[in-house]
Structure 1
Amino acid sequence: MAKGFVSKAKSVIGKFYHGLKSLTGLIILLMIYSFTGAVIFVHVETPHQEELPLAKEPKQKNLVQLLLNLTVSLNSTEFEKVRNEIITLINIFDAETFEKMHGKRWDFWKALFFCGTIYTAIGYGDIYPRTDAGKVIAILYAIFGIPLAFRVLAEIGKKLTTVIKFFYFGVKRSCAKKVQTADGETLKNERNDVALSIEHTEKEKNEIEIVWEDKDEKLKKEIENSLPLAVPVIILFVYLVLGAFMYTRWEDWSYLDAFYFTFISVSTIGFGDITPAHTKYFIVTSIYVFVGLALVSVCINVFMEFYIVSIKVAAHRMNRVGSKIIKGCHCCSRRQSL
Structure 2
Amino acid sequence: MVEMKISFDVIKYFRIIIKICMFSIAGYGNITPQTVPGKVFVMTFSAIGIPLTAIIITSIGKRLSSFVTCLLMRKRCQERITRHRRDIQKGDKIDTFIETEAYENTVVKEYDGSIIPLIISTAILIVYILIGSIIYSFLTHVSYMDAIYMVFLSISTIGVGASLPSDSAYYIGSVIYILTGLTLLSMCVYAALQYNNVKPPTEPSERKENNANVEQ
TM-score, normalised to structure 2, is 0.67
The 3 A distance-change label for structure 1 pair 170 and 253 is farther
Q: Per the alignment, in what secondary structure is the counterpart of residue 277 of structure 1?
A: coil
The 2-side partners of 1:272 and 1:125 are apart by 6
Relative contact order, CA 8 A, sep 6+: which one is greater? 2
Q: How does 1:1-338 map to 2 (within 5 A)?
A: 107-120=12-25, 122-172=26-76, 221-226=108-113, 228=116, 229-308=118-197
Give how far 1:232 is off.
0.8
Q: Report deviation, 1:134.
A: 0.5
SS of 1:308 mapped into structure 2: coil
Q: Is the 8 A contact 1:114 1:128 kept in 2?
A: no
Q: What is the distance in 2 between the residues matched to 1:273 and 1:171? A: 46
In 2: Cα distance, 1:238 partner to 1:245 partner: 11
Q: Percent identity?
A: 28
Q: How many residues align?
A: 171
Q: Deviations over 1:115-146 (max 9, x none)?
A: 323542x2212322111111111111111111
Cα 1:176/1:283, change in 2 over 3 Å:
farther
- SS of 1:158's equivalent? helix
Compared CA separation, residues 275 and 167, structure 1 to 2 (3 A):
farther
* Aligned-partner Cα distance in 1 for 2:40–2:30: 18
Preserved contact between residue 222 and residue 309 of structure 1 (Cα < 8 Å): no
**1:117–1:124: 8 Å Cα contact kept in structure 2?**
yes
- Residue in structure 2 matched with residue 65 of structure 1 by the alignment: none
**Hey, what's the Cα distance between the residues in 1 that align with 2:159 and 2:170?**
18
CA RMSD of aligned residues (A): 3.2
Deviates more, 1:253-262 or 1:160-169: 160-169
Aligned CA distance change for structure 1 residues 262 and 168 (closer, same or farther; 3 Å)? farther
Q: Give the deviation of 1:170 after TM superposition.
A: 4.2
CA offsets per residue over residues 133-191 of structure 1, 9 Å max, x none? 1111111111111111111111211221133223333455567789x8xxx98xxxxxx
CA distance in 2, matches of 1:145, 1:262: 22
1:253 CA displacement:
1.7
Quote the Cα distance in structure 2 between the aligned partners of 1:220 and 1:267: 34
How far apart, in 1, do the equivalents of 2:158 and 2:36 lie? 26
CA contact (8 A) 1:248 1:258 kept: yes
Q: Which runs of 5+ in 2 are unaligned?
A: 1-8, 88-104, 200-216
AA aligned to 1:224 is: Y
